[in-house]
Amino acid sequence: MRSTFALVNLSNLLYNYFNIKKKVKKTKIMAVVKADAYGHGIKEVVSALNSTGKNKPDYYAVAFIQEGIELRKLKIKQPILIFEPLAEKKDLSWLEKYNLLPTIFNYDHLELVNRANQKVKVHIKVDTGMHRLGINYEHSFEFLEEISKNKNIKIDGIYSHFATSDENNKNFAHLQFSRFKNLINKLKSENVKYGLAHMANSGAILDLAETYLDMVRPGICLYGYYPSLETSESIKLKPVMSLISKVESIKKINKGESVSYGRRFKSDSKTKIISVPFGYADGYNRNLTNQSKAIINGKMYNQIGTVTMDRIMFKIGENKVNIGDEVILLGKQGKNKIDAWDFGRELNTIPYEITCNISKRVPRIYSY
Total of domains in the chain = 2
The structure's pTM equals 0.95
Q: Which domain holds residue 191?
A: 10-223
**154 and 302 both lie in a single domain:** no
Q: Both 207 and 265 in a single domain?
A: no
Task: Please give the Cα distance from 174 to 178 (Å, whole number).
Answer: 6
Is 266 assigned a catalytic role? no
Q: What pLDDT does residue 8 have?
A: 98
Of 21, 23, 34, 315, the active-site residue reads 34
CATH number reported for the structural domain that contains residue 66 in this entry: 3.20.20.10
Q: Is 137 a catalytic residue?
A: no
Question: Which CATH number does the domain housing residue 261 bear?
Answer: 2.40.37.10
Over the stretch 136-156, which tens digit does the pLDDT of each residue have? 999 999 999 999 999 999 999
**pLDDT tens per residue across span 274-328:** 999 999 999 999 999 999 999 999 999 999 999 999 999 999 999 999 999 999 9
Q: Are residues 262 and 307 in the same domain?
A: yes
Q: Which of 193, 252, 261, 360 is catalytic?
A: 261
pLDDT tens for 212-234 read 999 999 999 999 999 999 999 99
Please check whether residues 204 and 304 belong to one and the same domain: no
Q: Kindly write down the DSSP assignment for every residue of 259-311, as one continuous string.
A: ESGGG-EE-SS-EEEEEES--GGGT--GGGTTT-EEEETTEEEEEES---SS-
User: Quick check: is 145 in a domain?
Assistant: yes
- pLDDT of 88: 84
Residues 190 and 48 in one domain: yes
Residue 2 lies in a domain: no
Q: Which residues pair with 216 in a beta bridge?
A: 29, 200
Judge if 201 and 91 occupy the same domain: yes
- Average pLDDT (254-271) is 96
Mean pLDDT, residues 51-62 taken together: 97
Same structural domain, 253 and 191: no
Length of the chain counted residue by residue: 368
Q: Could you tell me if 124 and 247 lie in one domain?
A: no
Cα dihedral 301/303/304/308 (nearest 10): 150
